[in-house]
Amino acid sequence: MLYERHYVWSVLLRIYHWAFALSIVVLTVTGLYIHFPWTNTMLEGSTSFPVATMRYIHFLAAFVFTGAVIIRLYLLIFGNRQERFWDFLPVTPRNLRNLLHTNLHYIYLRRHHEVRPGHNALAGTVYIVTLAAAVFQGLSGFYLLYPESATWQSLQVIFGSQMEARFLHYLGVWYFMFYALVHVYMCAWNDVVSKEGLISSIFSGYKYLRNRP
Ligand code: HEM
Ligand code: HEM
């Protein structure tokens, strides 16, 4: 079978992916520590100050995360063909068909999937939901971070009291943990079944697509 090499992910998208993924790992670990400081909190008041250190790392990672989200929002409109929302959201007949075929392929009712350079419509929809969850997580995070700022506190209509916002922010973490688990599994599964070099594409930018006869 002949394969063609296609350049699909720009440098900016790959920077976004790894900044987003790695900052989420840091934010999850430090966030869960803030939620439940699992080392002995008797350490507080001694020379070490673990919750404050974890909060500091959380906020550093939060700014990397925010930068990544802004990059992706920009690429949704100004990215290359594969990166624009139009290419993967199920809002066109082509993508709706792809959504159906991808689902059938994933439950082993359809042997072949449509060869396309970008995301399939199912993955693309999940990525947009994840981006929306990231915006929500970031806004609730800044709402918690700046209780003295009138601008940020105008979001009270959405997040409620600081306590309620903290709870919503905490619930968001479970979405990201579940997402990461399924995402890495699906990428590995696709890499094995479709042999397009999917995982390496998020490092190199290149995918290998079967030539249509
Ligand atoms: C712009 C991004 C973010 C900002 C500014 C931010 C900020 C904050 C702030 C201010 C707190 C409260 C700390 C405290 O009460 O001492 C917090 C808690 C927390 N954050 Fe974030 N955060 C962000 C993104 C994230 C992300 C992406 C995750 C995980 C996916 C996350 C997970 C958590 C967790 C688990 C807590 C503890 C909540 C609790 O105590 O129940 N954060 N964050
Ligand atoms: C071992 C770790 C990871 C690998 C190998 C990996 C691999 C990939 C690959 C191959 C794609 C493109 C898939 C496609 O075309 O549909 C992708 C996209 C994506 N990944 Fe990951 N990923 C990893 C970790 C993560 C983590 C931890 C997150 C966030 C929690 C994440 C978030 C995303 C998002 C949001 C996209 C969509 C990119 C876009 O907006 O176009 N990834 N990843």
The predicted pLDDT at position 121 comes to 96
Q: Locate 187 and state its tokens.
A: 């990428």
Best residue among 20, 34, 44, 148 to mutate for probing ligand 1, ranked by most atoms within 8 Å of CB: 34
The torsion defined by the Cα of 113, 122, 181 and 188, in degrees rounded to 10, comes to 20
Question: CA 169, CA 153: separation in Å to the nearest integer?
Answer: 15
CA angle at residue 193 from 189 to 199, to 5 degrees?
A: 55
- Domains assigned to the chain: 3-210 (1.20.950.20)
72 C-beta closer than 6 A to ligand 2: yes
The predicted pLDDT at position 111 comes to 85
CB atoms within 10 A of CB 9: 23
Determine which helix (DSSP H) or strand (DSSP E) holds 151, and give its type and residue range.
Answer: helix 150-153
- φ, ψ of residue 47 in degrees (nearest 5): -70, -30
The single-letter code of the amino acid at 206 is Y
Question: CA 147, CA 149: separation in Å to the nearest integer?
Answer: 6
Q: Which ligand places an atom closest to the C-alpha of 12? A: 2
Could you tell me the distance, in angstroms and rounded to a whole number, from the CA of residue 99 to the centre of ligand 2?
19
Best residue among 99, 202, 204, 209 to mutate for probing ligand 2, ranked by most atoms within 8 Å of CB: 202
The single-letter code of the amino acid at 196 is E
pLDDT, tens digit only, all 213 positions of the chain? 788 999 999 999 999 999 999 999 999 999 999 999 887 666 556 677 888 999 999 999 999 999 999 999 999 999 999 999 999 999 999 999 999 999 999 999 998 888 889 999 999 999 999 999 999 999 999 999 999 999 999 999 999 999 999 999 999 999 999 999 999 999 999 999 988 999 999 999 999 998 754
Question: CA 208, CA 159: separation in Å to the nearest integer?
Answer: 45
pTM attached to this predicted model: 0.93
